[in-house]
Structure 1
């Protein structure tokens, strides 16, 4: 909560500073141009904020969570797109009003005569393409690697937009203070990305030298991969978190997939367990022992760090049991575990979960059967866990199941701060 409030406060404070410099620079006589400049500044500030959201900074991720950061990233991205569209429309029609040109010829004229405008047009076109592929319909039909590769062009758009602001921004050059402020904003934003997305992953992988130590099939379509390395006791990973894994073979080095830790880190090895849902996860069982691993992370806030109650309820669906199993290993206090699967044969890691629950004194409920009727409806949850409103609830599973359970928890009046879940989406 403190991190979220602080992030909002920083954004609002910067919005106030931008407004001050905008007013200090003076207003054009044409209202449309004034609106165009205002929306352009708003778009620039939102774009810088967007970079901080996608930087995957550990401090923010641990306290806010990749899910929430990804949600903010999505909405901020569309806000940037619409704000810059308004900027382009207002500026074009504003100048067209003074020159008598039609809007299309006015854009062409500005691109040809004003330094930086052509770069802004190219940047905006790139952002439109990224916005289209980020729409839910398109996103569901693209492989993660394709989506991620297209998203990398965001950085090209950012650089082009920044150079446009330097060359043509009236407010940017209105005073040394304004110029210094904007350089600082972009410096922090780009620096965050440089550190979080490049320096930190390279440093950690150089330091820990990760390698595959074992590959263990758990069932026909589920496999566990054990990874060892140097100084793993100094890797800041917690039960419930996930990494973005790359296995450095000739045919897989370019693929990066998010998989949870399926066992609490013990300082000597890491374990991930994945179900074959695509070419990337299906190929895990063929990885050879000794293969070098490049891991980005750890990410996610589904950890004990955010507990506020002494007792817990852990709800897993399908292969979503992996972070839940790791969390149970790390939890203190009484816990109830509910594992929802279609049939007994789908209960991945169930033997481990049962033995761990016995050792920890936890209650374990294996709930099987088809999705309908809902066996985790509010009435069923209240029957299995009568004191559910007094527990922290950790949840992970397929999106439809998670959405249904979250609805049930609301019906049971479980306070929102006690509900912890992860969808393993990534910002940028």
Structure 2
């Protein structure tokens, strides 16, 4: 077990601790997205896009060019959103980036379908080949179109399996493998525009812009998703030091190695973990730290909810570990207030435990609310109680089965209370707190809504979702 820290006394007039994440990182990255779309549209206008809208055939083709350009730009934005660029990830967090990635993905896919339909109709309107003859001619006669068809098929597969109902039927490992075909689809679908697209070849500025954008997207993935983690793992190998069975379905893993200090992780963040213990090691799994990093070791605690988590119980000390991260904004760097409320449900309490250990706070500043089905299932409950006592924090265990038929963070015995009233009963001055949440998506949404209704501004509620 990680040694318990002594409580630290701080200036009560401010929220101390880790250096905050600069707010302008978020604003500048959002502005860059809109600037990209405006620039792409401007290139279309400069290359005669508006002028070509006069006739039916030219108008359809011109609109097809615009939708294709915007689809291409958003497809590359998708890649950049999940390339794990450090500045973008720290500004938004993987939770927000993944949801934005999903939204941008469906927008890009819709524009791509519009591009295909408009281009085919535009060419067919100016040809005597007919609709299907035009489709055949475009596919077999134009450079890169066969690749584009294959790329489109791959992207369709990714989008279809990303619909929530379809994704719910797939194992995470299967969905993740299928999702990787998105990179293949992008790589196959885009080259035909570089070779023959009017807006790509009309001027040196356009050619330079698009090739640079593609190179940045591809380079970002290779550097930050492949290169950086690989170099770190080879330079400073990490290995499993301890595997602890906290319950029949809960395992705690501790990793050590000379590279831990260089990772600069914070309590509450998560890594993508790969354990070189046999088949399946290529699939990464996100696990949050359950103890504050001490410079020599990293620790996480996971419930057995799938093949990847069940394998944790069979890990042996000495197993090599590959890491990507740290990721996420569930850390002290986003804190803006002196008082903090940490709320975790089930296994979601683990990053709260790490945050509690790391938070710079005076006695009375921190409250931990641990939601469990029964007290015997309180993951890391003894550790949290000991930490809370050492730091002068409150640790409240809210136990009991959930209220049936009601979206709530409360147990059934509190059904006579509203979610917000119950929160105010536990923490009367909750409106003056930063609130950190982790648990199932439905539970977090209910807890977030309760905190906002109780007077906590939405920007002071911090949470991390692992399903989108």
Question: Structures share a fold, TM > 0.5?
Answer: yes
Structure 1 residues 65-214: aligned runs within 5 Å? 65-214=93-242
Which residue number corresponds to residue 26 of structure 1? Answer: 48
8 Å CA contact 2:441–2:467 kept in 1: the answer is: no
Which residue number corresponds to residue 412 of structure 1? Answer: 454
Asked whether 1:341 is paired with 2:387, we answer no
How many Å separate the matches in 2 of 1:296 and 1:105? 49
Which residue number corresponds to residue 10 of structure 1? Answer: 32
8 Å CA contact 2:237–2:259 kept in 1: the answer is: no
Which residue number corresponds to residue 426 of structure 2? Answer: 384
Task: Report deviation, 1:425.
Answer: 4.4
* Alignment equivalent of 2:383, drawn from 347, 352, 373: 352
How many Å separate the matches in 1 of 2:270 and 2:467? 10
3-state SS in 1 of match to 2:201: coil
Which residue number corresponds to residue 344 of structure 2? Answer: 316
Over 3 Å counting, the alpha-carbon distance change for 1:349 and 1:424 in structure 2 is same
How many Å separate the matches in 1 of 2:152 and 2:318? 45
How many Å separate the matches in 1 of 2:397 and 2:191? 58
8 Å CA contact 1:261–1:273 kept in 2: the answer is: yes
3-state SS in 2 of match to 1:380: helix
Structure 2 residues not aligned, in runs of 5+? 1-22, 411-418
How many Å separate the matches in 2 of 1:394 and 1:207? 35
Deviation >3 Å, runs of 4+: 373-376
Structure 1 residues 221-236: aligned runs within 5 Å? 221-236=249-264
**CA displacement 1:370-390 (0-9 Å, x = unmatched):** 101756411110001011011
How many Å separate the matches in 1 of 2:280 and 2:105? 30
Which residue number corresponds to residue 13 of structure 2? Answer: none
How many Å separate the matches in 2 of 1:12 and 1:365? 45
3-state SS in 2 of match to 1:61: helix
**CA displacement 1:132-163 (0-9 Å, x = unmatched):** 01111121222222112112211221222231
Structure 1 residues not aligned, in runs of 5+? none
How many Å separate the matches in 2 of 1:298 and 1:350? 25
Asked whether 1:424 is paired with 2:466, we answer yes
Which residue number corresponds to residue 5 of structure 2? Answer: none
3-state SS in 1 of match to 2:247: coil
Which residue number corresponds to residue 361 of structure 1? Answer: 392
Bigger mean CA deviation after superposition, 48-57 or 98-107 = 98-107
* Alignment equivalent of 2:319, drawn from 288, 291, 306: 291
How many Å separate the matches in 2 of 1:255 and 1:149? 8
8 Å CA contact 2:245–2:251 kept in 1: the answer is: yes
8 Å CA contact 2:274–2:283 kept in 1: the answer is: yes
How many Å separate the matches in 2 of 1:267 and 1:141? 41
8 Å CA contact 2:420–2:453 kept in 1: the answer is: yes
How many Å separate the matches in 1 of 2:89 and 2:150? 32
8 Å CA contact 1:117–1:168 kept in 2: the answer is: no
* Alignment equivalent of 1:253, drawn from 258, 269, 281: 281
3-state SS in 1 of match to 2:48: coil
8 Å CA contact 2:366–2:394 kept in 1: the answer is: yes
8 Å CA contact 1:367–1:375 kept in 2: the answer is: no
8 Å CA contact 2:232–2:259 kept in 1: the answer is: no
3-state SS in 2 of match to 1:171: helix
Bigger mean CA deviation after superposition, 367-376 or 231-240 = 367-376
How many Å separate the matches in 1 of 2:431 and 2:355? 20
Over 3 Å counting, the alpha-carbon distance change for 1:254 and 1:234 in structure 2 is closer
Aligned residues: 426
Q: C-alpha root-mean-square deviation of aligned residues, in Å?
A: 1.5
* Alignment equivalent of 2:360, drawn from 316, 320, 332: 332
Over 3 Å counting, the alpha-carbon distance change for 1:26 and 1:113 in structure 2 is same
* Alignment equivalent of 1:61, drawn from 82, 89, 106: 89
How many Å separate the matches in 2 of 1:141 and 1:360? 44
How many Å separate the matches in 2 of 1:342 and 1:53? 36
**TM-score, normalised with respect to structure 2:** 0.88
Which residue number corresponds to residue 396 of structure 1? Answer: 438
